[in-house]
Structure 1
């Protein structure tokens, strides 16, 4: 039984428990003259929560534990003699999973008898032919141990999935029935229901915190492994980025940081002036009807997928800058450039600056405007001397948040700026950023334990520190210089 079906069954049992629990509460209320501790709906919620929440917790735990247990058993079945020289055990385990998945597909098509597969009465050549029919190509040199491990993996997965379905559904039915039988007029159903909700809220907050801790921990631990293989001084201070997966790599981060800074700076030079002018117009000059149309239309820019922006940079902006500026001025001949990516990225982050700045300027009390007008100031003088200074901390925070968004962008850089890691001041030259190289170092069939792969985690940790610093700086500026109005 698939996980989705198990979830649907548990949700159906939970819904049934709600209606039965509420109905039982109403019948008890009729018998006792309407004396119930809580509303009837709370009794139904209690049954529904007992039927759903523990079952889902068991399902989540099972989904985490089962693969670990099965992988450990399968790993013990594979001797070191079948591991290819220079290869990794994890690659053999991946082959085991791939073959097991192929066996499932073959059996689903009734192209092979399951009993013959289990008792080994069918020869390996027949199995290989059946696997080839579903797109699983096996060579003649596949070790017997790997194939036997694949059969065990498939069988254990099947047994584990069946046991999971039985255990989860049984737990849902059992706790639902137990909760239903506990319903009586003096049961504090509202307290139980609200306690469940409070625990759910605490659990959600904990998951968010643990996710952040897990991300940071994974970056830190893998970065430590990288710095054990590659000198930290060369990584942080070298000006050459030249990864060679066969040795002799130079992994200096400075060209990547320079490309990230350069492209982000151009993006901010595009987005900040335009975004602020838009915010000033929408906040101070536009009518309500125009504002109700213009602001959502501008914010649509933030919802456009970045791949669309990347294609726009590649097909439209890049060739335009090359043909009208780079080639006539003798500054370059490529449509991929820092300026291309920076302009398109600036267009993308305009809503981050304009929308946040507009909201901040609207938060400035009308009394300050009226006082300025009363002193004889014009509208433009009021904007320059009163509104912008009052909203400045929030505007700076919006700019820094937009900068964090620009630093983390990948797709626009890939299609608009190229992948060349170098130090150059020419904005019409192709460059790249940290995020692009993170993707490229983890793409393809590479050995995970090599410095050229682990460097992606060091790059990610460096980028995380930079963006975290910008966010902290933005919060510090907003809190330190924020003005409170009543």
Structure 2
């Protein structure tokens, strides 16, 4: 049964259960809702909850577990030579899924009948006898091993889907029936429903935490695997980045220091652009601008945060880079050889970060109590003196936290760096030279046909873990500063 139909049937069972549970509760109270412990809607919601939640939980777990089970069963039946002779496990399984899905496409296009596809899938015909027919239907050659795996793949998926449908529907009907049997006047339906909603809210709040933990473990396991193949000391202290895809590692130099330097260098330039402009605009909007000007200017500034980073990258590549070349290129002072450089990416990234610094700083400055301003004015201070000596010192911890959050955003940027900074990994102080960052190299290392068992592919996870630790540290430090000193001015 298609997934959509299964979901609709579960919802229909829940709707019928809602009406049945509500009617049964009213019937047990003689039709008078005042004799019920809870409102009638809670009895119906209780039945609907028991019809949907257990069935949905089993459905989600089943959909997540079935692919792993099917893939492991299919791989166990494939000969060892299929995987080791020039093909990875992922490529072999991709061919198996392509053949299995191609049979359905062939039926839809009329290349073979549904009975022929069913016979091939259920192994009622010999594998060797089916090779030519499948190859003609799919328009490509298919090996006997891949076709055998595709047969098993389709059979297991079809069987698993059938069992899943039966199990899920039985659970939905059983849950609804059990909940209906409890719907009487004395049943505390409201308490049960509210506990269920509380559990749902806890699960929703846990998604972010569990996602972070999942990302951390995914990075950690692959990082450990990388350091089994490549020395950690050479990675953290190496000054040369030169990956080689010959064999299982070749003579690769995978030192992270040039990438770290490029990341911090571009981020520093971006902050030098974003912090003064963002902070000064926040001071103007919060202290000098009229309500009308503030209502127009602040949304316009915040529009910058909604522009996709790929647009910023194209702006750096097509506008800022050529402009800097015309100013600092070989025809003028000779400092800049091409449009891709640290300065190009840093300037555009700084423009992107302006709304982060401006909006956060504006909110923090507005949070300073008005009594502090009034006290300063009462002592004879001017508005500028009040801003310099009272408001900014009071808001400084929050402003520092905003700057650190903007820095973590700059460190994790990718598209602006890819298009505006270049791809050279080098240690240099010249801001008009091309450099690259950790995020750009993560993209390049995972692009292509590299073997994921090689250090060149696994190094992307080590780079990701390094970036994760850096940004996490900045975020934790920023939150620590904000929370530690904000209470002084509440």
**SS class of match (2:488):** coil
Instruction: After superposition, give the CA deviation of every residue in 1:256-288 in whole Å (9 maximum; x if it has no partner).
Output: 001100110111011101110111111111222
Match of 1:128 in 2: 135
Match of 1:184 in 2: 184
Report how far residue 40 of structure 1 moved.
1.7
Match of 1:444 in 2: 448
Match of 1:323 in 2: 326
- Does 73-82 or 120-129 show the bigger shift? 120-129
CA distance in 1, matches of 2:415, 2:15: 44
CA distance in 2, matches of 1:13, 1:195: 22
Report how far residue 227 of structure 1 moved.
1.1
Change (3 A) 1:33 1:325: closer
Residue 307 (structure 1) aligned to one of 294, 298, 310: 310
Query: Would you say the 8 A contact 2:36–2:186 is kept in 1?
Result: yes
Change (3 A) 1:350 1:5: farther
Match of 2:76 in 1: 76
CA distance in 2, matches of 1:33, 1:365: 52
**SS class of match (1:484):** helix
Match of 1:297 in 2: 300
Where do residues 165-184 of structure 1 align in structure 2 (5 Å cutoff)? 165-184=165-184
- Does 423-432 or 86-95 show the bigger shift? 86-95
**SS class of match (1:154):** helix
Match of 2:7 in 1: 7
Report how far residue 474 of structure 1 moved.
0.9
Q: Does 1:22 align with 2:25?
A: no
Instruction: After superposition, give the CA deviation of every residue in 1:296-322 in whole Å (9 maximum; x if it has no partner).
Output: 221111111111111111111111111
CA distance in 2, matches of 1:83, 1:37: 64
Q: Unaligned 5+ residue runs, structure 2?
A: none
RMSD: 1.8
Q: Unaligned 5+ residue runs, structure 1?
A: none
CA distance in 1, matches of 2:16, 2:359: 46
Report how far residue 27 of structure 1 moved.
4.7
Match of 1:144 in 2: 144
Change (3 A) 1:400 1:249: same
TM-score (norm 2): 0.93
Query: Would you say the 8 A contact 1:326–1:428 is kept in 2?
Result: no
Q: Does 1:250 align with 2:253?
A: yes
Instruction: After superposition, give the CA deviation of every residue in 1:111-137 in whole Å (9 maximum; x if it has no partner).
Output: 3234332422764222112112xxxx3
Query: Would you say the 8 A contact 2:131–2:147 is kept in 1?
Result: no
Where do residues 425-440 of structure 1 align in structure 2 (5 Å cutoff)? 425-440=429-444
Aligned length: 479
Query: Would you say the 8 A contact 1:394–1:478 is kept in 2?
Result: yes
Report how far residue 110 of structure 1 moved.
3.9
Where do residues 10-409 of structure 1 align in structure 2 (5 Å cutoff)? 10-29=10-29, 31-32=31-32, 34-116=34-116, 117=120, 118=122, 119-120=124-125, 123-132=130-139, 137-138=140-141, 142-246=142-246, 247-327=250-330, 328-409=332-413
Change (3 A) 1:312 1:2: farther
CA distance in 2, matches of 1:232, 1:254: 13
CA distance in 2, matches of 1:143, 1:365: 75
CA distance in 1, matches of 2:298, 2:30: 56
CA distance in 1, matches of 2:10, 2:286: 50
Query: Would you say the 8 A contact 1:104–1:154 is kept in 2?
Result: no
Change (3 A) 1:355 1:365: same
CA distance in 1, matches of 2:43, 2:356: 46
Tell me which stretches of 4 or more aligned residues in structure 1 moved more than 4 Å: 26-30
Report how far residue 469 of structure 1 moved.
1.2
**SS class of match (2:404):** helix
CA distance in 1, matches of 2:233, 2:245: 20
Report how far residue 189 of structure 1 moved.
0.7
